[in-house]
Amino acid sequence: MQHRRQRLIIAAGIIVSSAITGCAGPQARAPVENLDQRTGMTIATLQAPVEFVESGMLSVNRHSSFAYLGPIEWDRMGEIRYGLWIHIAPGNDRAVADITSPAAVSLSLDDETVPLSTVEAPRLGLEPYPAAVPWGQTAYFALSVDELKRLASAEKLTLHFHGVDGQRVDFDSLRPSRPALSAYARSRGITVD
């Protein structure tokens, strides 16, 4: 009887441990590395981009706009560059202006706002992240190693876009992004505070 009770306690502990790991697992999964066959470049990304929703707009009765952000490492035979992939999936709320126009996008890392500038991504045979919707906007932005460190250590991320009406449109991350982003930075050999 004593052995049976101990086995039940151990089994219950394993189930609880698995459930907790399962809940935390998707946030901190290992980054994905792909080799672009056409160029020989290795691309490292998150398994899934960080998802954002327009501030104050998530509602059952409306089709909200969503934004997605994902870091990218482009490695061509040891020559490494970083960038941010950003995609907007518009809903029926406030429209966002062209995200490739100068100073159209900024990112708040906790309480510090960082302006983002577009970069031309390498022409590859594969996309680093899938677009959420074909009618959305996608752009690539410059990302330094220091900015990647700050991104990976931030507790709160907010994306800011210019709206077509000239007003700022803010998007808040739906889930904590720090576990996935800090795991990504560490996998690239970048230490995070």
Segment 15-72, tens digit of pLDDT? 333 333 333 333 456 789 999 888 889 999 999 999 999 887 655 556 789 999 999 9
Same domain, 140 and 169: yes
Check whether residue 39 and residue 108 sit in a common domain: yes
Three-class secondary structure of residue 62 per DSSP = coil
Q: What is the pLDDT of residue 111?
A: 86
Element holding 19 (H helix, E strand) = helix 2-24
Domain co-membership, 70 together with 4: no
In this structure, the answer to whether residues 9 and 45 fall within a common structural domain is: no
pLDDT score for 23: 38
- Interatomic CA distance for residues 167 and 177, integer angstroms: 26
* Contact status, residue 92 vs residue 62, Cβ threshold 8 Å: yes
73 with 24, same domain: the answer is no
Domain that holds residue 23: 1-30
Specify the 3-state DSSP secondary structure of 28.
helix
Residue 192 lies in a domain: no
Q: How far apart are CA 177 and CA 148, in angstroms?
A: 13
